Amino acid sequence: MCGIVGYTGPQSAITPLIEGLRRLEYRGYDSAGIALGTPDRLYIEKRAGKLVNLENALGESLPEVHSGIGHTRWATHGGPTDRNAHPHVDNEGKLAVIHNGIIENYTQLRADLESRGHRFDSDTDTESVAHLLSDLRKKHGGDLSAAMREAVASLRGSFTLLAIHADQPEVIVGVRRNSPLVVGLGVGENFMASDVAAFIDYTKRAVELGQDEVVTISPSGISITNLDGAPLQPKEYAITWDSSAAQKGGFNHFMLKEIFEQPKAVADTLLGRLNDRNQIVLDELHLTKEDIQGLKKIVVLACGTAFHAGMLAKYAIEKWAKISVEVELASEFRYRDPLIDSNTLVIAISQSGETMDTLMALRHAKASGARILAVCNTNSSTIPRESDAVLYTHAGPEIAVASTKAFLTQVIAVYLIGLHLAQLRGVMSDLEVKSVFDEMVELPGKIEQILETVEPLRELTRGFAQSTSVLFLGRNVGFPVALEGALKLKELAYMHAEGFAGGELKHGPIALIEEGTPVIAILPVGHEHGLDEKMLSNVQEVKARGAKVIVIAQEGAEVTGAEHVIRIPIAPAIFQPILATVPLQVFAYEMAVTRGNDVDQPRNLAKSVTVE
């Protein structure tokens, strides 16, 4: 959850550290702190609250330093207070540690360290690592890298750690286990961070780190070893987006900017995916025709918004490829006895590629013999690296905590997988696939149409700002859309919101309706199974009990009983979620703005959930 950054080089460390933390504040904003590499005793400053509190505390009279580490926190152990903010130091004030993740055996470590005379000043699990490293560094004759290797061998949990010592302030040591850490390679300077956004203004060269790899950086270079101390060869890659992608670009909030970036994100994810022989091109899947024909089922693993994309994967893959699909909450998957074997394809969906629940579920499935396909937006993150294949979406950086363009591109990605499977299994002809793909190519323009007409929706939303609850109804592919709309409203507006399958309304949820309750209904496309008529009956049922109804319907669809109708362009039913989701994103955004909430950094949430 937390954001971490380290810098060592010729320039003043304050600027890259503070700029890096500002870029990483989406990962956690309960508190922030820095440790500057001054000789004899480190300079430490940390404050509860957002980064601006730390900046105000730093003032003008800072030492001239050329290395340091910084942290922005999402609290796990210990409340968001000054004393619990990172960095944490040893009793000599010479060694500082910052940490993302959880140290599961910290209580035993703390008890042992306290019995040896160490004094603790915080309620965190992190501080135990600072004291442990202090002892081990002395044992290893001042070698902080060796101390880190021995320390990590005794730690349980998921974590990224960075450490610095006043005796060698230009040296920073880091390690990762089930938590993100990337190295930036500069000229005469080097960086470490939980996200490349922290140092993208300074370098486009990065190095990926594997599990339990210890990295040591100084201005002169980097070295990577395993826990036994054996040297490892860095795996360098290029960062393909620039700092302007992480700026608001004239929008009031990153979320609004990202909503308006969705036409391009969808178009980029579709780019080059159909060749001149009308075949879906997904070479990175590494699945042969024989592999695909041998599949007995597909299991989709995801959390939160990605889970809703997974629900839509089920509709598309079963419709097109005729393979059974199960959709599982990754956080629950491995706590039962799932039936997984070598004839199972597991699709793991994660925007960041670091979602801990999904990663652990993935590992469980892999150990059971399943093939793993990741759908991810972040190059070289953990989930793609541990998968057999990866399909990258092309949403670009998503800074706002509430996911928008990542969701739409995830849906596009799983739809491409469905078409690819259908084609290789011989269920759909090349011409049928081309016809469907051509419809997908029209989606960016249709999203653009919706965005060009959102001002009336924003005005309408402001009229519901004092509501205490909003209910969402959907059927078929509209049901995951209803769930996603409700989730966005919970995340941003801090209000009760629930999504229901329309057919379930009479089985309990209708009791929630009272005079003035806003209900948003996604009207199914077409007359197949009479679902549109059934949804309009649901509208009448809630209206008769005092609800104020907003219906999202395609152009030309007949709507009765609604106070407000939001029109979306005509598209086949399977693509309705791509279009219907956009007004719900705008509704949640505007509700949050009207209620005075922090849109980009909603309370209690962080962008990447890197702990279970």
Cis amide leading into 87 (omega within 30): yes
Q: Which of 184, 173, 181, 188 is nearest to 237 (CA)?
A: 184
**β-strand partners of 160:** 100, 176
| Residue recorded with tokens 């890659």 | 237
Question: Which of 2, 446, 488, 548 does the annotation list as catalytic?
Answer: 2
Q: Active site includes 607?
A: yes
- The tokens describing 28, both together, are 């956690």
Q: DSSP state, 83? A: T
For residues 384 and 283, is the Cβ–Cβ distance under 8 A? no
Question: Which of 314, 446, 488, 607 does the annotation list as catalytic?
Answer: 607
| Residue recorded with tokens 């009272």 | 514
CB-based burial label for 468 (10 Å; 0-12, 13-18, 19+): exposed
Give the 3-state DSSP-derived string for 515-570, with helices as H, strands as E and coil as C. Answer: CCCEEEEECCCCCHHHHHHHHHHHHHHHHCCCCEEEEEEECCCCCCCCCEEEEECC
Q: Active site includes 257?
A: no
Rounded to 10 degrees, the C-alpha dihedral 349/355/356/358 comes to: -10
What secondary structure does DSSP assign to 62-76, as a single string? ----SEEEEEEE--S
Residue 439's CB: how many other CB atoms inside 10 A?
Answer: 14
224 CA to centre of own chain:
27
Q: DSSP state, 195? A: S
**Alpha carbon distance 222, 234 (integer Å):** 9
Catalytic residues: 2, 607
